Structure 1
Amino acid sequence: MEKVREKVNLRVFYPFILFLIFGLEGCGSEASEKTYRPESVTTNSQMKLFGEEEAILTAPPLVPPPVGNRPAKKLYMEMEIIEKEAEMADGVTYMYWTFGGSVPGSFIRTRVGDLVEFKIKNHPDNKLPHNIDLHAVTGQGGGAEASFVAPGQEKTFSFKVINPGLYVYHCATAPVGMHVANGMYGLILVEPAGGLPPVDKEFYVMQGDFYTEGKYGQTGLQPFSMQKAIDENPDYVVFNGSVNGLSGDNAITAKVGESIRIFFGNGGPNLASSFHVIGEIFDKVYVEGGSQTNTNVQTTLVPAGGSAILEFVADVPSNLVLVDHSIFRAFNKGALGILAVSGEENPAVFAGEIMEGIYQPEGSVIQTMPQSEMELTAPKDLSQEEQIAAGKKLYMQACFACHQTDGQGVPNAFPPLADADYLNADPERAIDVLLNGLSGEITVNGKNYNSIMPAQQLTNEEVANVLTYVYHSWGNIGTVISPEMVKSRRK
């Protein structure tokens, strides 16, 4: 009887089992017919081309002209890979590997549907093979496999840009991290049909972290440190390839009322960037360089190998300070730039100081800076030229973060040293400030500053050297400060 019941039960369940097998298979077929296929595949990849042209590539901070309303075209572009020694910081050089001779590499501007014929050339004097991986490219390695090229050789490959957005490109030759860490990265923009909305000024900025055998500021040609890179412990975090990549003579400029767009990328290879502009709010941020936008943003997080498009209007005249708001990177590793905005004041937006007073609930104690980990030393009995050179090195290691490489200071925070009446009026007072610190309000070149200058733990020779450098820079009076003068002012 049990065997009979088993056969009966199986007969009952056979139809159900068959339904599960064949019914679900049918559902799967129907589902596969409805598989989502994005517009980039169904439309943009098949977009018709109208004409052809040579693409314009630009070195940072410049950007090629907008694509505007033009149709999709065939674009021809060439990029040369160059390995070259260049300045990382004052007195510090580095062997950069570059796309187009700059760090970051040349800016590439396209529109969705363009067909790109890309020629990549590896200069004969280079030592290593390289290639290019463009995040905007849908294909093997983003084009890396098709573009692998030895020194003295060139390759041409082709791709269609089918996804609008701002994308990073970089070298993907092993060891990939080393090639990226040596500066091999850049941005490629794919504008949507009809282009981006017009603005008055556009700039190209990329952050990168660099790893050197020597400490920050150690002079001479600095080799790459693989161990520091693996440990993710950079000596330099910079914009556009160097400590001065966006400051001093390399500062970018705009006028009050101009609309500004920054194409910002992070080459890495390791660190994310907390990108911020001191003194402005981003009116619009294209999040991660894509189509989604956010408004009224103070700081935007950009991962290594990522990007963002930032838009705002320069509302008042000021030196807007571009920083990675992981703030020690800005003031101690170089991630700092200047957007100098000129024009008429706008009291409705910023009225400046309207009242002054003294508030000292904890007394007027001057802070003392600890001895620098860099253990800066200065030789004695230097000539004036040697003293200026030694003082410049010390300034770039200990002073530039607050007073800037060009001595202009930080508006409303730290006073300028350039052509500074407060400084030039009394050299002995300047010595006292370095030795003993300074707090409270001072007036420099007609503007009031109220902050704290910590006492510096420097030798007599170091104080003399750095002040001599400052007095011989930026239009100051050329006074020579001797170690004996410093010694006489010590209390």
Structure 2
Amino acid sequence: MLTRRAALMGAASFAALPAMTRAASAEEIMDTSMVEPVDLSNLKRIKRKLVRPPEVHAHEQVAPGAPRIVEFEMQIVEKEVEVDNGAYLQAMTFNGSIPGPLMVVHEGDYVELTLFNSPENMMQHNIDFHAATGALGGGSLTLVNPGEKATLRFKATRPGTFVYHCAPGGPMIPWHVVSGMAGAIMVLPRDGLKDHEGKPVKYDRVFYIGENDFYVPKDENGSYKRFADVGESYPDTLEVMNGLIPSHVVFNGKVGALTGDNALQAAQGEKVLFVHSQANRDTRPHLIGGHGDLVWERGKFNNLPERDLETWFIAGGSAGAALYKFLQPGVYAYVNHNLIEAVNLGATAHVVVEGDWNNDLMEQVQAPVEYNATHEGRTALP
């Protein structure tokens, strides 16, 4: 139903935002105020403090009891982000991070999110949960102007990993997504994860990796442009976006976000769950030197996991999960196995694993030495 507030929001947006942007159409904003609210007063409430990816907030792998209302707060932050040396993105973010933080609940729980649009922001924003049912995934019930907040509650009815993203309407949707406004939620089965035989599986740690494709414009000299604010960046960014060739493909917001001093840390013998999301483009994660012991490629825990995968596929607009037990120490590269995007555009993470080397799994029988090419190596040829 079209509301007076919807009409006012549309009018205010046209007046306040640059001419090239379009507010979400008023028809997309629903009014459910006449519907009798559901009585959930008998359910326990808990609050979860979201943390910056790749870390994930504290949670139980097996639900401790009856369904609960899990409360989250998230603030929308528009800010400039340096995605690579000299390449600056006018970013739009959930909670100031790219990707937005991972939320974890259990099937049957209620997710209750209060979304704040900071007064200093320029744009309307909202949140579309792929895990939710109805109202554009919550997008039509959470459309907030700068300085406004809204609270959405939905029941987590399907276990799995799901994307959430901003979807304020029309051409604003892809722009907001490729400017950083996407994250993921993991809905665990109440009795925890199961392997291909239905046996319980637990992880020792979980890492959340959000992959982004960015479209940073260049000037006539080939240098990256820098803009005063998000509104000013729109026309040039749109032109690059429509060419469908990203300037950067990165994990967690920037080149090198998960390498070097920022590398992920694990220990030999640990089972690590990798949750990987891509809200816009297809991708293909690969752990160099390891495997996907159990892989929920489409991220849905009602489906049996694939086993022993070398590379797995994450469809654009979805999130997947892969479990691996690290058997050897060393530095593992976790990459998008379009190696051009991994090496040249930035989609690489490192996992540093401590432990003792096992020569039974891999042994250097002979270190590199020079050889006599006249007599050696010829038998290798067909």
TM-score normalised over the length of structure 2: 0.78
Which residue does 2:32 correspond to in 1? none
Residue aligned with 2:242, SS? helix
The 5 A counterparts of 1:252-401 are: 252-268=264-280, 271-291=281-301, 292=303, 293-358=305-370
> Given the alignment, which residue of 53, 59, 62 partners 1:60?
53
Residue aligned with 2:51, SS? coil
What is the CA–CA distance in structure 2 between the aligned matches of 1:47 and 1:101, rounded to whole Å?
Answer: 31
Residue aligned with 1:60, SS? coil
What is the CA–CA distance in structure 2 between the aligned matches of 1:110 and 1:347, rounded to whole Å?
Answer: 41
What is the CA–CA distance in structure 1 between the aligned matches of 2:226 and 2:239, rounded to whole Å?
Answer: 18
Q: 1:337 to 1:218 in 2, by over 3 A?
A: farther
Which residue does 2:163 correspond to in 1? 168
Q: 1:221 to 1:249 in 2, by over 3 A?
A: farther
Which residue does 2:210 correspond to in 1? 206
Q: 1:78 to 1:253 in 2, by over 3 A?
A: same
TM-superposed CA distance for 1:115, in Å, is 1.6
Stretches of structure 2 that go unaligned for 5 or more consecutive residues are 1-37, 194-200, 228-232, 375-382
TM-superposed CA distance for 1:265, in Å, is 0.8
Residue aligned with 2:136, SS? helix
Which residue does 1:130 correspond to in 2? 125
TM-superposed CA distance for 1:74, in Å, is 1.2
Q: 1:69 to 1:60 in 2, by over 3 A?
A: same
Residue aligned with 2:119, SS? coil
TM-superposed CA distance for 1:173, in Å, is 0.9
Residue type at the aligned position of 2:310: Q
What is the CA–CA distance in structure 2 between the aligned matches of 1:179 and 1:361, rounded to whole Å?
Answer: 58
Q: 1:285 to 1:147 in 2, by over 3 A?
A: same
Matched, 1:188 2:185: yes
> In percent, how many aligned pairs have the same letter?
31
> Given the alignment, which residue of 135, 154, 159 partners 1:159?
154
Residue aligned with 1:124, SS? coil
TM-superposed CA distance for 1:273, in Å, is 0.5
Matched, 1:235 2:239: no
Matched, 1:69 2:63: yes
Residue aligned with 1:273, SS? coil
- Alpha-carbon deviations, 1:334-390, whole Å to 9, x = none? 11111111221111112135354557989xxxxxxxxxxxxxxxxxxxxxxxxxxxx
Which residue does 1:112 correspond to in 2? 107
What is the CA–CA distance in structure 1 between the aligned matches of 2:40 and 2:332, rounded to whole Å?
Answer: 42
What is the CA–CA distance in structure 2 between the aligned matches of 1:96 and 1:157, rounded to whole Å?
Answer: 24
TM-superposed CA distance for 1:226, in Å, is 1.0
CA contact (8 A) 1:49 1:114 kept: no
CA contact (8 A) 2:217 2:225 kept: no
What is the CA–CA distance in structure 2 between the aligned matches of 1:208 and 1:359, rounded to whole Å?
Answer: 46
TM-score normalised over the length of structure 1: 0.61
What is the CA–CA distance in structure 2 between the aligned matches of 1:202 and 1:113, rounded to whole Å?
Answer: 22
- Alpha-carbon deviations, 1:92-136, whole Å to 9, x = none? 322110001100001111111112222111000100000000000
Residue aligned with 1:253, SS? strand
TM-superposed CA distance for 1:287, in Å, is 2.2
CA contact (8 A) 2:218 2:225 kept: no
Q: 1:356 to 1:110 in 2, by over 3 A?
A: same
What is the CA–CA distance in structure 1 between the aligned matches of 2:307 and 2:371, rounded to whole Å?
Answer: 37
Tell me which protein shows more helix as a share of its residues: 1
Residue type at the aligned position of 2:149: E
What is the CA–CA distance in structure 1 between the aligned matches of 2:287 and 2:134, rounded to whole Å?
Answer: 36
Residue aligned with 2:312, SS? strand
Q: 1:219 to 1:177 in 2, by over 3 A?
A: closer
- Alpha-carbon deviations, 1:256-304, whole Å to 9, x = none? 1111111111122xx2101111111110101210122100000011111
CA contact (8 A) 2:334 2:349 kept: yes
The 5 A counterparts of 1:415-430 are: none
What is the CA–CA distance in structure 1 between the aligned matches of 2:85 and 2:207, rounded to whole Å?
Answer: 24
What is the CA–CA distance in structure 2 between the aligned matches of 1:214 and 1:360, rounded to whole Å?
Answer: 51
CA contact (8 A) 1:49 1:74 kept: no
Larger Rg computed on CA atoms: 1
What is the CA–CA distance in structure 1 between the aligned matches of 2:372 and 2:240, rounded to whole Å?
Answer: 44
Residue aligned with 1:328, SS? helix
What is the CA–CA distance in structure 1 between the aligned matches of 2:77 and 2:157, rounded to whole Å?
Answer: 29
What is the CA–CA distance in structure 1 between the aligned matches of 2:126 and 2:116, rounded to whole Å?
Answer: 9
CA contact (8 A) 1:47 1:113 kept: no
What is the CA–CA distance in structure 2 between the aligned matches of 1:48 and 1:129, rounded to whole Å?
Answer: 32
Residue type at the aligned position of 2:138: G
What is the CA–CA distance in structure 2 between the aligned matches of 1:47 and 1:290, rounded to whole Å?
Answer: 27
What is the CA–CA distance in structure 2 between the aligned matches of 1:231 and 1:359, rounded to whole Å?
Answer: 50
What is the CA–CA distance in structure 1 between the aligned matches of 2:373 and 2:249, rounded to whole Å?
Answer: 37
Residue type at the aligned position of 1:297: L
What is the CA–CA distance in structure 2 between the aligned matches of 1:323 and 1:275, rounded to whole Å?
Answer: 6
TM-superposed CA distance for 1:315, in Å, is 1.2
> Does 1 or 2 have the higher relative contact order (CA < 8 Å, sep 6+)?
2
